[in-house]
Structure 1
Amino acid sequence: MLFENKVVLVTGGSSGLGFAIAEAFASQGAKLVITGRRQPQLDEAVKSLGENASAVCADISNLGDLTQLFSHISGVHGHIDVLIANAGTGEIEPLGAITEAGFDRLFTTNVKGTTFTVQGALPLMGKGSSVVVIGSTASINPGPGLSVYGATKAALRSLVRSWVLDIKGSGVRINLLSPGPVDTPSLRNVLGENAQEVIDALSEKSTLGRIGQAYEIGQAALFLASDASSYVNGAELFADGGASQV
């Protein structure tokens, strides 16, 4: 699973799972391009990722930003070997309190943004390239308040299953990586004062007795993007300690 001189784009790569995934590819020699919406955060991430990393400030829900992103990559690198379509957002809104604004934010970023990220990257990807779309176990077990978020991630599963047929014969693989709960600052911020209590409860559901660590998702992404999974296409890998299987 070496990526020496491979051009790897990680959207939403400046923090959380995206940054952990970017770190995994950096450790294997990739030429990294990360995106995010906040330039200062991107600058800090690039410093940590090393000299082979660069950043482009872009919001995947903005098609103009995506056009500029792919134009930049085309001019600098000429192609993309791996796309990690990670950028996304989440909100807790239970039925009865779902807002139009919240609904639109989730679908615009998670579904529309991911769709046009993949579509925009494909002309720069050739035979042997790989797309990994980051989903979530919320697509099959969303939990209270996560119906809309879970629906956006379920939509990604449907998209991937169709896309592999749309690009049949291209030599580009597309797979879905769906993490379970992972101990990140963003998760703890969403959970608020009850964070540890909820994490303990989620740990009980896992057959490993714990929730995930961000670096473990990075390792799973390396596998799906690499030649080690060369015959894996259109699949969904659940990285959740077995919670979705029991």
Structure 2
Amino acid sequence: MTDQTKIALITGASRGLGAALAEALAPEYHVVAVARTTGGLEELDDRIQAKGGSATLAPMDITDPNAMATLCRSIHDRWGKVDLWLHTAIHTSALTPAHFIDAKEWFKALNTNATATSVLIPFVAPLLGESGHAVFFDDPKAGEKFYGIYGATKAAQMSLARSWSLETERTGPRVSIVEPRPMPTAVRARFHPGEDRDVLSSTAEEANRLLSLL
């Protein structure tokens, strides 16, 4: 691996869209794959290696600021940069009426979807520098019935991303927000149980489509 190696940091990489993006980027990028699920990361690593690519696995919880600080310092010490950051990590709460929201579930979603993003942006921004590219994935559910927890915390994440995007228009890094099409992921299955998954876009197809837009 040379100093010219392109580095892609993917938070939420063990399954779903994050894993599909990681596979699509290999072997053009060395992938730093972050997720809590060690088994999922190891399976992803096997698929990346089968394509002739390489990955660094980081089985970490993005809601742990110390872990994220250690990760970013390690990336800096090893490569000095991140060329592309794809933030797909998300916590999906069960659909529930607003007047039945559980406080513990609310704070778990808030910590993962919003607070962790507010911590990661300052940590990753120096690694991206002026020429790097950060990508966030919108799923606009704010204000829809039964989506109170997910909709509100996802909207908070997107608000941070949009502010950062405007703030860096002239200075970099580039910050993009894209909206994936419905995919047969565990996230969607939790919201739409019993849905015909055959009519949805595969994660691989959607990963390639989104990367083509970027």
Q: How does the TM-score come out when normalised to structure 2?
A: 0.86
Q: Spell out structure 1 runs of 4+ moving beyond 4 A.
A: none
TM-align CA RMSD: 2.3
Q: 1:147 to 1:216 in 2, by over 3 A?
A: farther
CA drift of 1:122 comes to 0.6
Q: Distance in 2 between matches of 1:20 and 1:91?
A: 23
Please say if residues 34 and 59 of structure 2, whose CA atoms lie closer than 8 Å, have aligned partners that are also in contact: yes
Residue 6 (str. 1) matches residue 9 (str. 2): no
Match of 2:119 in 1: 116
Which residue matches 1:60? Answer: 62
User: How far has the Cα of 1:199 moved from its partner?
Assistant: 4.1
- Contact 2:180–2:210 at 8 Å: present in 1 too? no
Q: What whole-Å deviation, never above 9, does each CA across 1:74-117 have from its counterpart, x for those lacking one?
A: 12221100000111110122223210011101111001112222
For residues 25 and 154 of structure 1, do their structure 2 counterparts lie closer, same or farther at Cα, with a shift above 3 Å needed? same
Is residue 169 from structure 1 mapped to residue 170 from structure 2 by the alignment? Answer: yes
After superposition, residues 119-134 of structure 1 pair within 5 angstroms as 119-134=122-137
How far the C-alpha of 1:71 sits from its partner, in A, is: 1.3
Would you say 1:150 and 2:156 are equivalent positions? no
Give the SS at the match of 1:138: coil
Give the conservation status (yes or no) of the 8 Å contact 2:9–2:86.
Answer: yes
Alignment partners' CA distance in 2, 1:75 and 1:221: 30
Alpha-carbon offset, residue 156 of structure 1 = 2.4
Is residue 2:184 matched to residue 1:183? yes
1:84 matched residue in structure 2: 86
Q: Which moved more, 1:154-163 or 1:119-128?
A: 154-163
Tell me, yes or no, if the aligned pair for 1:7 and 1:30 is still in contact at 8 Å. yes
In structure 2, what is the Cα distance between the partners aligned to 1:43 and 1:82? 21
Residue matched to 2:77: 75
Q: 1:185 to 1:155 in 2, by over 3 A?
A: closer
TM-score normalised to the size of structure 1?
0.76
Task: Give the length in aligned residue pairs.
Answer: 207
Partner of residue 99 from structure 2, selected from 88, 96, 100: 96
1:34 aligns with 2:33: yes
Gaps of 5+ in 2: none
- The letter for the 1-side match of 2:139 is S
For 1:7, give the aligned amino acid. Answer: I
Partner of 1:236: none
Indicate the residue corresponding to 2:15 in structure 1. 15
Bigger drift between 7-16 and 158-167 goes to 158-167
> Equivalents in 1 of 2:81, 2:20: separation in Å?
23
- Unaligned regions of 5+ residues in structure 1, if any? 204-209, 226-246
The residue number in structure 1 matching 2:207 is 218
Query: 1:136·1:180 contact (CA, 8 Å) conserved in 2?
Result: no
The one-letter amino acid of 1:162's match is S
Give the deviation of 1:217 after TM superposition: 2.9
Q: Could you say what secondary structure the match of 1:176 adopts?
A: strand
